[in-house]
Structure 1
Amino acid sequence: MLDLARLRALHAVHVHGSVGAAADALGYTPSAISQQVAKLERETGSALLERRGRGVVLTDAAVLLVDTAARVLSLVEEAEVALEEQRGRPSGRLTVAAFSTAARGLLPGVMAELSAAHPALDPRLIEEDPHATPRMVAQGTVDLAVVHDWDIAPMSVPEGVTRATIGRDVCDVLLPPDHPLSSHPVLRREDVASARWICQPPGTVCHDWLMRTLRAVGVEPNVVHLVGEYQTQVALVAAGLGIAMVPRLGRGAVPDSVVVRPLEPAPVRGVSVLWREGTSRRPAVTEAVRVLREHARAL
């Protein structure tokens, strides 16, 4: 008989593309995942992973098992949801994926409240890019995902995934105190179009927004520093190396060496939570969504 934990490990390798990423998603070490897959290979008498450069790829036999594992894990989830619904209280493991600023600015309070109010619940957080998490929810790797999108790049949700908006995250312009624009109480896009910008790397939603927005006023953006972490952007602004557009969620206290000014029209990203339709009746999911909404409103 095939072991469910080993099937889950192989399925995670397929979903996340590597043993290391699968380990992060399931909360294990990479060696533990490798051991589970090795045991499954002995059970089936088939090679399941092949080395390819520094990574691994699934064999044809592994692809067959992954398809089976997806169906089995779906049935197990149905049973778990029914049992938790019968008990009428949140319990078991609840894995939440969130983008970095939500993981810092929203989730700590949410996870703490869930843990304190529901001792039988085991909430766990994974920081993940919002582009990856809808697929993770759809495939059952995580139970919930907190995601964001912009008006210029609305997020598509996979079939079978439910989405609920929980808030809006406004972005402001951060400038050094001696910057010529720091005396303006409100900035327009034309004001900042020719500035030296600190921005996230190409391929991110924030970078795309900045490019499209400033090009719309007839200026090619002058991006001088490409930095993914917002806190590093704040440090660069404080050093007088440029200006940046930083969301309020998870931003924390801004040092005195940085000036914050609103931009009009205000750049706003929507914040939503995703979960699988099949888990909509699970008490842990409904309670987590409720707490997320409350904390998002408070922020």
Structure 2
Amino acid sequence: MLDLERLRALHSVATYGSVSAAADVLHVTTSAVSQQLAKLERETGQKLLERNGRGVRLTDAAELLVAHAERILSLVEQAQADLEAHRGSVVGQLTVAAFPTAIRGLMPAALRSLGADHPDLRVQAIEEDPMRSMPLVSRGDYDMAVVQDWNNDPLPLPEGLHKGVICDDVADVAVPASHPLAGRDTVDLKELAGDPWISSSPDSICCHWLLRTLRAVDSEPRIDHMAYEFATQLALAAAGLGNVILPRLGRCDVPPGVVILPLAAPLSRRVYAVWREEAARRPAIRAAVTALRAAVPADIPAVAPVPR
């Protein structure tokens, strides 16, 4: 009979491309993964890995076995979820990735609530951009991710994932106090055409969204500075170096020299939790979404039912 942990080791090598990468994901040594694969080769009577330069590649036999391993591991996860659902207890371990403002604005209260209400559940929170976290949920690295999409730029949901809405979050514009429009009650995005902007790193969902949003109002973006943290972006804005799109969820302190202007045509983002279909029946998933929705600040409405 094939050993499940050996199949998991082979599947991880196939997914992540090397023995060392698989070891990192499985939280074991490279030697331990190599030993599991050697035992699996003896168990199957087939050669599974071949040298390929400095790395390895899977043999045809290994590729065949990986296809079965993927289905087997998915069934095991589903069985574990069904057993937890049958037991009705919120137990085990849950790894939750969340983008920066969600991990600051939602996770502390949600984690405190989960710890108090479900002491047998261990939750690990990891800060991660949605563009990276959703594929990692799909692959099984994380159990859940808190992600976002904007009202003018929906985020595609990969096949095999479910989602539950946590809240809608409105964004304002932060401008330097010296800006000609700083005294306005509201501002139209078109009125800021040609202004310098400050955004996050080029590979982030926020930077991609800002570029598309400004181009949609016939303004070719001029992004002068990039910083991942909103606190840093606001410090740059306070120095008169550009404007910032600033969501309300997890908003940090606004420094002197910055004025917050609501947009006349509001921009909002929807915050979701996503998880794999196989895990949908886990009480821990339901408990985590409940805690996240309860953690939404009073001025940001939660809008969705708890997933069933």
| TM superposition score category, shorter chain reference | 0.7 to 0.9
2:58 aligned with 1:59 = yes
**Structure 1 match to 2:223:** 223
One-letter amino acid matched to 1:107:
M
Matches of residues 1-299 of structure 1 in structure 2 within 5 Å? 2-16=2-16, 28=27, 32-45=28-41, 46=47, 48=49, 58-60=57-59, 62-296=62-296, 298=298, 299=300
One-letter amino acid matched to 2:254:
V
Q: Assess if the C-alpha contact under 8 Å between 2:151 and 2:267 holds in 1.
A: no
Q: Assess if the C-alpha contact under 8 Å between 1:153 and 1:205 holds in 2.
A: no
RMSD over equivalenced CA pairs, Å: 2.8
Aligned to 2:71, what secondary structure does the other structure show? helix
Distance verdict in 2 for CA 1:118–1:160, change over 3 Å: same
Q: Assess if the C-alpha contact under 8 Å between 1:167 and 1:272 holds in 2.
A: yes
Aligned to 2:104, what secondary structure does the other structure show? helix
One-letter amino acid matched to 1:41:
L
Distance verdict in 2 for CA 1:162–1:35, change over 3 Å: same
Distance verdict in 2 for CA 1:216–1:22, change over 3 Å: same
Q: Residues of 1 paired with 2:244 and 2:138: CA distance?
A: 34
One-letter amino acid matched to 2:282:
R
Q: Assess if the C-alpha contact under 8 Å between 2:131 and 2:205 holds in 1.
A: no
Q: Residues of 2 paired with 1:113 and 1:49: CA distance?
A: 49
Please, what TM-score do these two structures have when normalized by structure 2?
A: 0.82
1:169-201 residue CA offsets vs partner (Å, 9 max, x unmatched):
211111222222222221111221121111234
Q: Residues of 2 paired with 1:257 and 1:19: CA distance?
A: 52
Q: Deviation of residue 92 (structure 1)?
A: 0.6
Q: Deviation of residue 163 (structure 1)?
A: 1.5
Please, what TM-score do these two structures have when normalized by structure 1?
A: 0.85
- Number of matched pairs: 293
One-letter amino acid matched to 1:101:
T
Aligned to 2:295, what secondary structure does the other structure show? helix
Aligned to 1:263, what secondary structure does the other structure show? coil
Q: Residues of 1 paired with 2:21 and 2:129: CA distance?
A: 13
Q: Residues of 2 paired with 1:196 and 1:219: CA distance?
A: 11
One-letter amino acid matched to 1:103:
I
Give 5+ residue unaligned stretches, structure 1. Answer: none
Distance verdict in 2 for CA 1:3–1:271, change over 3 Å: same
Q: Deviation of residue 218 (structure 1)?
A: 3.1
Q: Residues of 1 paired with 2:50 and 2:91: CA distance?
A: 34
Q: Residues of 2 paired with 1:167 and 1:197: CA distance?
A: 27
**Structure 1 match to 2:306:** none
Distance verdict in 2 for CA 1:11–1:108, change over 3 Å: farther
Q: Assess if the C-alpha contact under 8 Å between 2:14 and 2:58 holds in 1.
A: no
Out of 99-108 and 8-17, give the one that drifted further: 8-17
Q: Deviation of residue 149 (structure 1)?
A: 1.0
Q: Deviation of residue 57 (structure 1)?
A: 6.1
Aligned to 2:131, what secondary structure does the other structure show? coil
Q: Assess if the C-alpha contact under 8 Å between 2:151 and 2:269 holds in 1.
A: yes
Q: Assess if the C-alpha contact under 8 Å between 2:199 and 2:244 holds in 1.
A: yes
